[in-house]
Structures are given as C-alpha cells and as structure tokens.
C-alpha cells in the first residue's frame, strides 16, 4: 500500500521544495525546504485520500465488498 501512496504522492509534491528520499516498508520520508512542511503534509493527505477513494485500496475494497479504513500518521522533525 505504501508504494501506491508513494506513487500518488510523487505528482503532488513541489519538486523544488520537497522530495522523497527514503521509503522503508511502511514509511515514506520526505525532506522539505524551510516553510514547505505544511505543503508536504497536505500532499500526503491528498495522496492517501486518492488511494482510498480512487486507487488501489478502493479497488481492493470493491473486490472484497467491504470497507477497511486506511490510517496514516505524520511526524514532523525539525
């Protein structure tokens, strides 16, 4: 699931201000320029929402005829 979110996230991050530098199993690490962390947080929320409503997670829920919430946490390190 993380890979689907990462793929959706790539088109939502501003390339001059943020980039993903590491993806390990169930975590995505993003480095941002000063002042752009809120934009990255919004981009993550949009990417997760896309995967849940239109992407891979939505397809799985439709196939198995059940709804399973997808939760994510964001930690901002300064």
CB 33: neighbour CB atoms within 10 A? 13
Is residue 51 situated within a structural domain?
yes
Domains in the chain: how many in total? 1
User: Does the residue 78 lie in any domain?
Assistant: no
Cα-Cα-Cα-Cα dihedral sign, residues 50, 51, 55, 61 = negative
Whether 75 maps to a domain, the answer reads no
- Tokens 């891979």 correspond to 56
CB-CB contact of 39 with 32 (8 Å): yes
2/62: higher pLDDT: 62
The pLDDT value recorded for residue 20 is: 87
Range of the domain at 17: 2-64
pLDDT of residue 59: 92
User: What average pLDDT does range 19-26 have in this prediction?
Assistant: 84
Inform me whether the pLDDT recorded for 55 exceeds 80. Answer: yes
Q: Which pTM was predicted? A: 0.84
Q: Per-residue pLDDT tens for 29-48?
A: 999 999 899 999 999 999 99
CB contact at 8 A, 56 and 1: yes
Has residue 78 got a pLDDT over 80? no
Q: What percent of the chain has pLDDT over 70?
A: 100
69 in any annotated domain: no
């Amino acid at each position: 699931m993380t890979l689907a979110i990462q793929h959706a996230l790539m088109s939502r991050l501003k390339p001059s201000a943020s980039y993903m530098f590491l993806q390990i199993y169930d975590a995505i690490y993003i480095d941002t320029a000063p002042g752009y962390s809120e934009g990255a947080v919004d981009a993550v929320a949009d990417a997760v929402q896309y995967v849940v409503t239109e992407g891979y997670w939505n397809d799985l829920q439709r196939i198995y005829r059940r709804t399973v919430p997808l939760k994510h946490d964001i930690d901002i390190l300064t």
